[in-house]
Amino acid sequence: MVIDVAGKNGAVIGAASGIGRSIAHALAEHGAAVRCLDVDDAGAGRTAAIICELGGQASSGFIDVRNSANVNEVIERSREGERSLDFVVSTPGINIRKPVVDYNDADYDAVTSVNMRGCFNVIRAAGRRMKSAGHGSITLISSISCRAVEVGQVVYAGTKAATSQMVRVAAAELGASGVRVNVISPGPVETELTAPIRQHQRWREAYASRTALGRWAQPSEIAAAAVFLASDGATYITGAELFVHGGWVDIGHEYVCTNAADK
Helices H / strands E in the chain, number of each: 9, 7
Flag whether 251 is in a domain.
Answer: no
In tens, the pLDDT along 66-83 reads 999 999 999 988 655 556
pTM: 0.89
Residue 257 has pLDDT above 50, yes or no: no
**Contact (Cβ atoms closer than 8 angstroms) between residue 211 and residue 248:** yes
Catalytic residue among 156, 207, 236, 255: 156
Flag whether 261 is in a domain.
Answer: no
Q: Is 156 a catalytic residue?
A: yes
Flag whether 138 is in a domain.
Answer: yes
In tens, the pLDDT along 14-24 reads 999 999 999 99
Count of structural domains within the chain: 1
Flag whether 164 is in a domain.
Answer: yes
Please give the residue range of the domain that contains residue 234: 9-244
Flag whether 17 is in a domain.
Answer: yes
Helix-helix angle 219-230:18-29, to 10 degrees: 50
Residue 164 has pLDDT above 70, yes or no: yes
Flag whether 262 is in a domain.
Answer: no
Mean pLDDT across the stretch 180-201? 86
**Contact (Cβ atoms closer than 8 angstroms) between residue 154 and residue 100:** yes
Mean pLDDT across the stretch 103-131? 97
**Where residue 31 sits, what CATH number does that domain have?**
3.40.50.720
Residue 43 has pLDDT above 90, yes or no: yes
In tens, the pLDDT along 211-248 reads 888 888 899 999 999 999 999 999 999 999 999 888 87
**Strand pairing partners for 137?**
87, 180
Flag whether 257 is in a domain.
Answer: no
